[in-house]
């Protein structure tokens, strides 16, 4: 259950787990696309897809948990525009956490490749192979990952400002311990 000044522990755990998975998927995506074709490159593509699909599943759980629980109130010291900016950034992050993996998933389908999750079972394909769409979705996946990078940087900078400049305890709301 949420306490007055912190998020519920489920949301805190999901926040940090998803953050680690996104950073890893982002780094792997950047590294693998620059590699020359090799078995390692193909393996990295699989790992990247598994990480992305895991993010997608966890974000769905997280959104549900977030909708079912109240967020702790912002401190009085935060102005209305700051609260609105924080809320808008958080909504945008949720949208991107769905849009980035979905665009990668649809791109893979349009390229004609199956996604075999953890090498164990094949996930459904929602798009038939299509060279034109494949190209568009690839560009879209790249664009969205770059937008996500920008918004995440903004999000981290805002958290650091609250912690070290405003010293208003906002970061503690998302920390597992006090
Ligand atoms: C949190 C989720 C994800 C993140 C942060 C992410 C990030 C990235 C990044 C940074 C790249 C490199 C883009 C570039 O060329 O600059 C990339 C490429 C790629 N991603 Fe993702 N991705 C995610 C999820 C997925 C998923 C779920 C799939 C498929 C199931 C996927 C499939 C691909 C593929 C196939 C490429 C290579 C594109 C190419 O051939 O150039 N991604 N991703």
* Ordered DSSP codes for 47-74: HHHHHHHHHHHHHHHHHHHHHHSPPPPP
For residue 3, tell me if it sits in a domain: no
For residue 2, tell me if it sits in a domain: no
153-173 per-position pLDDT tens digit: 999 999 999 999 999 889 999
CA 160 to chain centre: 19
Instruction: Give the domain CATH number at 98.
Output: 1.20.950
pLDDT value of position 26: 98
Cα 157 to ligand 1 centre (Å)? 24
pLDDT value of position 178: 67
pLDDT value of position 4: 65
Q: Which residues in the chain come in under a pLDDT of 70?
A: 1-4, 178
Instruction: Count the neighbouring beta carbons within 10 Å of the beta carbon of residue 177.
Output: 5
For residue 113, tell me if it sits in a domain: yes
- Of all protein residues, whose CA lies closest to atom 20 belonging to ligand 1? 104
Tally of CA atoms within 13 A in the half-sphere of 68 that contains its CB: 10
Q: Are 170 and 86 in contact (CB under 8 A)?
A: no
For residue 52, tell me if it sits in a domain: yes
pLDDT value of position 5: 83
The Cα 6–Cα 17 span in angstroms is 17
The whole domain housing 110 covers: 9-174
- Of all protein residues, whose CA lies closest to atom 32 belonging to ligand 1? 104
For residue 4, tell me if it sits in a domain: no
Reduced to 3 states, what is the DSSP secondary structure of residue 116? Answer: strand
Cα 176 to ligand 1 centre (Å)? 30
The count of domains in the chain is 1
For residue 1, tell me if it sits in a domain: no
The Cα 156–Cα 16 span in angstroms is 13
């Amino acid at each position: 259950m949420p306490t007055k000044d912190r998020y519920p522990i489920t949301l805190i755990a999901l926040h940090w787990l998803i953050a680690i998975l996104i950073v890893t998927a982002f780094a792997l995506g950047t590294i693998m696309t620059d590699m020359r074709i090799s078995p390692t490159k193909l393996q990295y593509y699989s790992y990247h897809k598994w990480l992305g699909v895991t993010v997608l599943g966890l974000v769905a759980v997280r959104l549900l948990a977030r909708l079912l629980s109240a967020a702790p109130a912002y401190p009085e010291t935060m102005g209305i525009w700051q609260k609105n900016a924080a809320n808008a950034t958080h909504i945008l992050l949720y949208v991107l956490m769905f849009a980035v993996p979905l665009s990668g998933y649809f791109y893979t389908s349009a390229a004609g490749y199956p996604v075999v999750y953890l090498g164990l079972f094949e996930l459904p394909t929602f798009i038939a192979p299509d060279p034109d769409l494949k190209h568009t979705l690839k560009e879209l996946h790249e664009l969205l990952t770059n937008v996500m990078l920008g918004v995440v940087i903004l999000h981290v900078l805002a958290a650091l400002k609250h912690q070290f400049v405003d010293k208003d305890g906002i970061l503690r709301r998302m920390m597992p311990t006090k």
